[in-house]
Every structure is written in C-alpha cells, then in structure tokens.
Structure 1
Amino acid sequence: MASSSSAGHSNLQSFINSTTPSVPSHTLPKRSLEDWNSLWLPAGRDTVECFNLRDLWGQYTEWSAYGAGAEVLLHGGDIVDQYYVPYLSAIQIYTNKSRASSRNGASNCWSNGSAYRTLVDPRGSAVQEDAGLHHEGIRRAQEQFGYLYFEFIENNTPFGRPPLLEKVRELASIHPGLMSFESAELSPASWMSVAWYPIYHIPARPKVKDLSACFLTYHKLTSSCQDHMQGSTAEGVSCTRGGNRSSSSEGKSNHIALYPFGLATYRARGKLWTNPESGDDERVVSLYNAADSWLRQLEVVHNDFNFFSTH
C-alpha cells in the first residue's frame, strides 16, 4: 500500500468525516415560526427544514460511550482506527426571548432578565438602560442575532470532564431548551465547539506519537447555510443533505450533516495529519482562521481554543 503522502490521502478529512454528526431533518410550516425574526428564515418557501437539538445530542450517544473511530493511514502504509471521546467545549444558543420564555416557563435563565446576555455584551450580564449604549444599536443587534438564551464555556482540564452527552444532559436539567429547541428557532449566531481527545487505536501500535493529536471542532446549530454574521470569514460552514458529500452520513436521506466551520489542533504538527498533497495545510489554516474570526466577532474567550493556539 502506498504511503499517505504518495497517495494524497487525508487523515484530517477522515477524522472530520468520522466525527461530523448527521442529524435527521424534518420540515415545519413557516407560519408556526412567525413570531421569530424573519431575517433568520429562508425567503420564498412556506416550510423550513430543521432538526431538533435532542436528535443532535443523540448522535453523540455512542461516541460519548465508546469513542468515535476515524480511519488513519500511517506512514508505513498500515491502517488503524483511532478512537476519540467528544467533550462539550463551548456552546452559545441565541434565540427569541419571548418565545423561549414561554416555552420554558419559569426557567431561571430568564429570572429578572439578568441571566441571559445579548450579542452586544456576550461576556457580561444583560445590557441595562444605564450602560451608556445606544438603544437603537442594541435593538438592531437583538433583531439580527437574538438573545443569548444559554452559554457554557468549559474551564476544567480534559481529565475532569464528562463526555459530551453526559454534560448536555446535566445542563439541560436547568436549561430545557437544550433538548426542546428546533434549529429553525435559533439565530444563525448559535454554535457549539467539541473537543476530541484520543483514547485508543485498533490494532495497537506502540510509540506512534502523532496519534496523540487532539482536535477542536466548531459547528453551527442552525440548518441554514446562509451566513448572517456581519464580516464573518467562516468560509468552512457546510450543510449537506443525504449523499451530497462523502461522509459518515453518505446514503442517508433526510439528514443534515453539520460539518465544522472551524477547527483547531493540538499535537497534530506531523505530516500524518497535514499531507501537503491533499490540501490539508490550507484546510487547517482556513478552518483555524474561521474559528478565530468567529470568536472575535462574538467577543468570546474560549479557553480550549486559547490552549490549542498556544501549545
């Protein structure tokens, strides 16, 4: 078998394909979403294709328990299945305040309007009238991006984190929208980041240092590919349905594959992961820049991203 370099094989793309969730999709009548910001919904159609967040988390059930296996072609020509455990690294859900409030009842995320944050000040509490910011500017930002219903940024070390599905269930016990929202009910500013850490590979290969690589992927939480973020350079955003693109979801109809729009790597500097003949170098740079631009635009301090960027 030819080496990964001579064959132009991309282990990076193999990892992305193997860890991209493929979510069952369905349609909703647009009139049922009429109290949502019309800028978020596609024009010219009576229905909206979407997915439920509960179904999205369901894609991580097996991965959280046993790891997600990615086929890796080693330099000598051998193939191993490298398994990774997903961890929820960060998530922001932007939505419409009145709809989310009525859906989730007296959830404390709306207590006195002080626990949710808007895009204007995503790292602080909700903007108050005496904040010195122009009310019209605040109103326009809320119309375009919505209210920050929920935010989580992981601070623990990887060894102290529960797998993604376990963490989501824990958070959903306090913020039920994590399990009930439809993607069509979310602003295009909604996103999540998943940290992938290796646990084992089959068959075992001792002293293959490059297999210790870790990855940080960024995914939109909406089913629309349209980019509403002003000045965004998140060119890697991809929504695919069925077999439109080679992936783990190939052959599935009525599914939406949430390919990452951003990526950061740790311990992946060797040629095992960035084969120059497959365009990996350019792909890594493009996806990294997209993630960096996204975080800067939302003014988010993402701990894992900072660590991956400096190590």
Structure 2
Amino acid sequence: MSPITSSCSSIEHCSNLENFLHSVTPIIKHDFVPVNDSKEVEAKSGLKNKEDIKLQDIWEVYDEWSSCGVGISVILESGESIVQYYVPYLSAIQIFIKKSTSSTSSHHDDDDASTKSNDKNLKSDNSCCSGDHDHLYVQFYESCSPYLRVPFLDKIIELAQSYPGLLTFCINDISPASWMSIAWYPIYRIPASINSTKELCTCFLTFHALSCSFQDNNEEGDRESGQVLDLVPFGLATYKMQSHVWNNRDKGDDEKIKELESAASSWLKQLHIQHHDFIFFTQ
C-alpha cells in the first residue's frame, strides 16, 4: 500500500478533495535525536523522538477533531467559499505487533481480555499473523449505525480496557501491517446561511497506516524533513458522492478517487477482511 500525496503546492491551490485529504491527515510533531538524548529534548522542546511516539499521541489528534470537527475549505459551483466540518469515528483497526514486542508483552492479559469481551465486533487472535514475525494484537470492525457510534477516543478507551497496548505501544513497536480506517460524517458548515446541505452530504472513509516503519519507506511530501509524522490516507471510499463538488477533473480527482478506492479494496482482500463500512460505502 502506498499513500497518494497531494500535488498542489499550497492549500489555496488544492481541489476540494485535496483539501479534504490534507485536512484529515493526522500530523504528529517529532525530532530526530539520539535515543539517549530523547528524554532531554522532549522536556525542553515538547517534541518526541520518532521512536517514542505512542499510538495514544495519534488518538489525541482525533479526540480534538471529535470535539470540534475538522474544517474543510470547500469552493462551491457558485464560487462561494465555505468551511464544511466533518467528525471522525473509528471504523476499523488492526494492530499487529512485532515478534520482539510480543515476546516481551503479556499474552496472558490478551487471552483474558479475549474471553471477557462481549463485543461481537472485537476480536483477538495471536495465532493470526501478517508475516513470519507479526502477531495480531487486536482487530475491531464497527457495524453500528452512525447515529449509535461513540466518539473516537471513547471507542479507543473502551477497547483499551481489554487491550491496554492501544494506549502504551509506541509506533515503532507495531508492525507495518497495522492500519485503521476512519469514517467521516458532515456535521455543520460556516457560514450556515448558504443553502448547500444537499451538496455537502458526502461521507468519506479513509485508510491509514499506523507503523513508523511504513512511514520511513515513504517521502513526507513538502513537510519539513524530520519534524512531522503524517499519516496520509492510502485508501478512500465515498458515500453519497457529489462529483460536482468533490471531483475536479482538471486536478485529476476522478483518477485519484479510483486509485484510492482500489488500494483500499486490494488491502482488504489481501487481509481477507469483510469491512462493514467499506462494503456499505461502495455498494
């Protein structure tokens, strides 16, 4: 899987779709420093060494977005410019841990959690591997109606009661096969006076890799080298797509959507996954 990055040089020159993909990419600031000095640098600058970034640092970005929504700059066919806000919900997640991590982790806790969990969408099976050295720590697929889903961080905390690694693992501990998908639903727009409800009813499903190793194999675009970790979507699906709003053929958005949806589909087929939201969005 490989993320498709934006070709526009600045947010003002992006299409609406590019603005969306840019805006929903979680960005975590970090430093490249010697491991022995990482604690001192973090204390002075507030930045973490890349290897010290935890999954929890990613979840906190989504927590803020869950509270206020993510503002997407959108230019309508009329030429009017608005900001449409989207709220994220955890749609699916798979965390694979490397053999070195799993050998030092307590599998006893995982086995107990698996027997205690009553959530039919939550599964754990340490016998399932993404490779010779990767073990599945936890997987979850949301199947509830969007109206019944809990905020992103609330779901993570709920899962962490059985799988505490969701809050303690560093991204360097997990396998490159680890990933998640996020369902994005429109909530409000500014200015609200513009009558564009039908035009802005599109929902999105984005797919993101979670591993530090995966990010090391890809360029970080125009971002300052060594200063950010950005989880650019490698896959996408849409529901109630309004092509006249989100599909700018001059920017190649139609091909970009097809490529991202194909990448998501291929990824799920490779893992033999029945992804509830992806099936619903693309049926």
Same fold, TM exceeding 0.5? yes
Which residue of structure 1 aligns with residue 209 of structure 2? 220
Question: Shift of the alpha carbon at 1:208?
Answer: 3.7
CA RMSD across the alignment: 3.2
Q: 1:63 to 1:208 in 2, by over 3 A?
A: same
Which residue of structure 2 aligns with residue 195 of structure 1? 183
Q: 1:61 to 1:238 in 2, by over 3 A?
A: farther
Which residue of structure 1 aligns with residue 94 of structure 2? 92
SS of corresponding position for 2:184: strand
Which residue of structure 1 aligns with residue 140 of structure 2? 152
What is the one-letter code of the residue matched to 1:290? A
Aligned residues between the structures? 254
Aligned partners of 1:216 and 1:252: how far apart in 2?
28
Which residue of structure 2 aligns with residue 40 of structure 1? none
> What is the aligned-residue identity percentage?
42
1:16-63 Cα distance to aligned partner (Å, 9 max, x none): 111110013356979xxxxxxxxxxxxxxxx97562101111111211
Which residue of structure 2 aligns with residue 12 of structure 1? 17
1:173 alignment partner, one of 129, 136, 161: 161
Normalising by structure 1, what TM-score? 0.72
Normalising by structure 2, what TM-score? 0.79
1:75 alignment partner, one of 74, 77, 98: 77
Which residue of structure 1 aligns with residue 9 of structure 2? none
SS of corresponding position for 1:195: strand
Question: Shift of the alpha carbon at 1:255?
Answer: 1.5
Aligned partners of 2:162 and 2:72: how far apart in 1?
34
Question: Shift of the alpha carbon at 1:170?
Answer: 1.3
Q: 1:257 to 1:48 in 2, by over 3 A?
A: closer
Question: Shift of the alpha carbon at 1:288?
Answer: 0.3
Q: Which runs of 5+ in 1 are unaligned?
A: 1-6, 31-46, 116-122, 128-137, 228-236
Aligned partners of 1:200 and 1:48: how far apart in 2?
35
1:204-258 Cα distance to aligned partner (Å, 9 max, x none): 122441201100000001123379xxxxxxxxx9562xxx43xxxx669622011
Which residue of structure 1 aligns with residue 111 of structure 2? 110
Report if the CA contact (8 A) 1:239-1:257 is conserved: no
1:177-218 Cα distance to aligned partner (Å, 9 max, x none): 001111111111100000000000000122441201100000
- Name the larger-Rg structure: 1
Which residue of structure 2 aligns with residue 265 of structure 1? 238
Report if the CA contact (8 A) 2:30-2:50 is conserved: no
Q: Which runs of 5+ in 2 are unaligned?
A: 1-11, 36-48, 117-122
Aligned partners of 2:187 and 2:165: how far apart in 1?
31
